[in-house]
Chain A
Amino acid sequence: MNFIKTIVAAGLVAASTSAFAADITGAGATFPFPIYSKWADAYKKETGNGLNYQSIGSGGGIKQIQAKTVTFGASDAPLKAEQLEKDGLAQWPMVMGAIVPVVNIEGVKPGELVFDGETLASIYLGKITKWDDAAIKKLNPNVKLPSDAITVVRRSDGSGTTFNFTNYLSKASADWKSKVGEGTAVEWPVGVGAKGNEGVSGNISQTKNSIGYVEYAYAKQNKLTYTGLVNKAGKPVQPTVEAFQAAASNADWAKAPGYYVILTDQPGEKSWPITAATFILMHKDATDKAASQEAIKFFRWAFKNGGKAAEELDYIPMPDSVVQLIEKTWAAEIKS
């Protein structure tokens, strides 16, 4: 029942293709939109070939590529291997981001607090309601915590950020998995919903004694009080580019068909537990082979030259080992 969106998006795409015949078209996730546009600008300056990316949301991106109205689709949540097989799609991770818990507590500085998955899940389940709860105190013996009630903030709109955050909580807490589960929009037991990363950031800055989760870039740019997390290896880690890359390189990409790896709760001493890749979807046997090849050229260029631009915008480039795997996938799967 997506016909309205499809028509609108198809209209947009059609309008853009008629204007620039040589352009690559893509549609999907909003999270990588800033970096894709930045890459596209630089690529156009360098090669003269343009890229037109519509950020209509992951769900929309998947629909568009299935309907073959775009050269590539982009989604924060990867498709399962059987789904890819059914639609004749190839899939690979393009760039990564990370999700960080953020708090607003009088006197608590960024990186001072530490949570583990179980505690975070309990807060979001409404089982822990006060900041000086024993479970939080046990993890943070040296932090002065108020006895005030916790205001839980989460996303009200469907989003890839929520998908990755709830996926992590499902892995970390059996209780969460059975009661709430994972998804782009879930049945939240407690808390207030805010629209978009910017809505959550705004709410956290406004509200004393609140907790929320945002993309790392938002936390950094808005100078929010992010927290550390205890990872799968039992080590407390801080959200740094190094920790995000550790999570990506420790993931077993080679064995995952269609690169179906959710980067949450990865092994490794240094791994940040809520890291997320955003994926590209393309038809293996596209009707417009020329456009497909152009798109691959662009992605190759982005992997090779786009790392610095990504880091400037607080995204995390894919590790080299993964890029080499993706090159092989292109050679094997995308027909020219």
Chain B
Amino acid sequence: MAVQSDIVDDAGPYDRAKALSAFKLGDMTFYWITRLSAISVLLILGGIILSLIVGAFPAMKEYGLSFLWTQRWAPSADPPVLGALGPMYGTLVTSFIAMLIAIPVGLGIAIFLTELCPQWLRRPIGMAVELLAGIPSIIYGMWGFFVLGPFLANTFQPFMIKLFDGVPVLGAIFAGPPSYLSLFNAALILAIMVLPFITSISVDVFKTVPPVLKEAAYGVGCTTWEVVRSVVIPYTRVGIIGGVMLALGRALGETMAVTFIIGNSFRISSSIFAPGTTISAAIASEFAESDGLHQSGLILLGLLLFVLTFFVLAGARLMLLRLEKKAGK
């Protein structure tokens, strides 16, 4: 026994230390691999911002802050006159209209799917929404160009133009002539493109509402509408806003589909049926054949989009915080 215990005493600590150190090595490796992965994200992000700033610097120096409120975009003038107002306006307006359409429709689909839809219909509608998310944006662009654009220009736009003719403000927003390529057409395509994001995230969060809450509400005699309005939506508000933010980020940056159907005009028009451009469409169109100050101006536009997206998302988060305070959570 003594002998054996000797062996154990000798071997014990030795083996234990060895075993532990082996674990330690594995642990450390694992720790550092994950840590480096996390840091690399920050490095990549920092690198992108830095290279954008470096690339945009000549244009910043040349135009300064006036870049933000100059509407002229004349790369061939000598010296080039560049201003971001047109593309910035187009980006915000198309995203805003897209959200105006996509949020109610997307939430409507989600509510129908989770609360009202008969079982047999649930799968096909859910699949259709998922498929909508899977369509490449170039296909949306082509469809918008060949099908939706002509349809809108021949039917919907003339109707709206006539309807609001002579009405102050609205008359200017829906002014003619009808056009295949316009801000509104691009916004409508964007709305269809971001619909699946809003719907699928909303469906997921609606499913997290405890059945007890809903049943209690039904139990005291609420209608489905009242349950959705006072139980489901308040309970899942954070998730819904998250989905909307994702969708908005997608809408702000969408390039290919928009380039096809927005008309690529840097001039700002009060009418949403006039051609316009967005930041990403402008960069995609002109970057390949640009140089010098023109190229720097385009990179500065990219930087602006980066900042714009950041502010929009930050703004959405702030809203979220205020909502939560109001709800007294």
**A155-180 contact mask (Cβ, 8 Å, vs B): 1 or 0:** 01111000000100000000000001
* A-B pairs with beta carbons under 8 Å apart, 13 shown: A1-B295, A58-B289, A151-B179, A156-B286, A157-B286, A157-B288, A183-B76, A185-B290, A188-B265, A193-B263, A193-B277, A195-B259, A206-B149
- Whether A192 is near chain B, meaning CB under 8 Å from some CB there, is yes
A1, A203, A207: which has the most chain B beta carbons within 10 Å?
A: A1
* A2 in complex: contacting residue of B146, B177, B260, B295, CB < 8 Å: B295
CB pair B150 A206 closer than 8 Å: yes
Q: Name the B residues within 8 Å of A194 (CB-CB).
A: 264
Please classify the interface of chain A as helix (H, G, I), strand (E, B), loop, or mixed, using the class held by over half of its residues.
Answer: loop
CB pair A184–B76 under 8 Å, yes or no, is yes
Is A60 in contact with chain B by the CB < 8 A criterion? Answer: yes
Shortest Cβ distance from residue B257 to the other chain A in the assembled complex, whole angstroms: 12
Q: Pick the residue among B73, B260, B289 that contacts A187 (CB under 8 A).
A: B73
Check if B158 is an interface residue, CB within 8 A of chain A.
no
- Kindly state whether residue B214 has any CB partner on chain A within 8 Å: no
Interchain CA distance A58-B295 in the complex, whole Å: 14
B184 to chain A, nearest CB (A): 14
Cβ of B289: which chain A residues have Cβ within 8 Å of it?
57-60, 157-159, 184-185
A157 pairs with B285, CB closer than 8 A: yes
Q: Which residues of B contact A (CB under 8 A)?
A: 55, 58, 72-78, 81, 145-146, 149-150, 177, 179-181, 259-260, 263-266, 275, 277, 281, 285-286, 288-292, 294-296, 299
A265: interface (CB < 8 Å): no
Contacts of B285 in A (CB 8 A): 156-158, 193, 195
How distant is A71 from chain B, measured CB to nearest CB, in Å?
Answer: 21
Would you give the shortest CB distance from B299 to chain A, in whole angstroms?
Answer: 7
Interface pair A182/B76, CB less than 8 Å apart: yes
Across the A-B interface, give the 8 residue pairs with the lowest CB-CB distance, nearest first: A183-B76, A158-B289, A193-B264, A156-B264, A187-B74, A192-B263, A156-B285, A186-B76
Contact A158 B58 (CB under 8 A): no
Chain B, Cβ-Cβ closest to A29: B289
A1 contacts B259, C-beta separation under 8 Å = no
Say yes or no: is A149 at the interface (Cβ < 8 Å to chain B).
yes
Q: Are B288 and A57 in contact (CB under 8 A)?
A: yes
Whether A1 contacts B299 in the complex (CB less than 8 A), given A58-B289, A156-B264, comes out as yes
Q: Is the CB of A183 within 8 A of B75?
A: yes
Tell me the smallest distance from the CB of A89 to a CB of chain B, in Å. 16
Please state if B288 and A158 are interface contacts (CB–CB under 8 Å): yes
Complex Cα distance A1/B55, Å? 6
Contact between A185 and B265 (Cβ–Cβ < 8 Å)? no
